[in-house]
Amino acid sequence: MDIECKENFDIKNMTTFKVGGPVKKAYFPKTQQEITYLLQNIKNPLVLGSCSNIIFSSQGFDGVVIFTSKADNIMVRGTHIIAECGVKGPMASKAAYEASLSGFEFMIGFPGTIGGDVFMNAGAHGQNISDTFIRACLYDTKTKEVAYVDKDKMNFGYRKSLLQEGRYILLGAEFELKKSNKEEIKNLMDRNLEFRKNIQPSLAYPNAGSIFKNPENDSAGRLLDKAGVKSLEVNGVKVWQKHANFIVNTEDGTSEDIMELIYKMYQQVKDTYTIELEPEVRFIGKRTKREDEICKQIYKTKI
């Protein structure tokens, strides 16, 4: 297949944190079929969407990355929406609105793709991707075949799914939404956008969304705020003043700068409340000695 490929690809400007070093080889497939072909013919590639919920190492990645963001076909069939893994949240939200379907309003401000959203069971404003999810089209890395998996087998939980277990890679997904009034859908989308505008940093300020998951029956933002982390900064990487669970990269900081700030935030909450927050963002790529030390301390599961 004639699939776009770049060697020693500089990933920095593709990540929402504007951080990252060279990738040995990068592929940019445009269809599920091309993604499947690459997965069947490349050993242990890394698959990424819009790079919005990650910290990509400034040291780079000595392997192959498949970027899925160009595989972005979306279809509406009655109350069902079928989306390829590279469809971005706002695109899905607007497609639902145009079809008078409710259930995707929460994704209107999401920078991520359907692949990443399903991977982490993304959610906001009381809605989650799993709420409308019907089935997934997955690539099974064990059998090297395409498989269809229904919702009850996806192991959805708070910011978790079957995809995090490593065997499967999402190619596409089907959702069932509810018919609703377009004006009501638009009003909810506008309210969600206004909330994000007032509380969360826009991508004009390089960031990767929420840094930590909410502990059970509590808010990571509240704990971080009360622990006094808003004054923390490492080489121009700062805690966002409007919401303590966000970090902005204001002065071309490195992945190590970001990890150092995350560790300081984590440690301050631990010292104040004896609560160990779990990161929502994932670290990818080569690690410096300090990055390795931090990752081993703050990640509860292997990344």
Distance CA 205, CA 196 (A): 13
Helix (H, G, I), strand (E, B) or coil at 281: coil
Give residues with Cβ within 8 angstroms of 20, minimum separation 6. 10, 11, 12, 14, 51, 56, 57, 58, 60, 255, 285
Distance CA 83, CA 137 (A): 10
Distance CA 230, CA 248 (A): 11
Catalytic position from the list 34, 105, 256, 280? 280
Helix (H, G, I), strand (E, B) or coil at 11: coil
Catalytic position from the list 69, 130, 161, 210? 210
Q: Find how far residue 129's CA is from the centre of its chain.
A: 12
- Tell me the two tokens of residue 184: 């009501």
Catalytic position from the list 159, 161, 174, 256? 159
Q: Is 210 a catalytic residue?
A: yes
Catalytic residue positions? 159, 210, 280
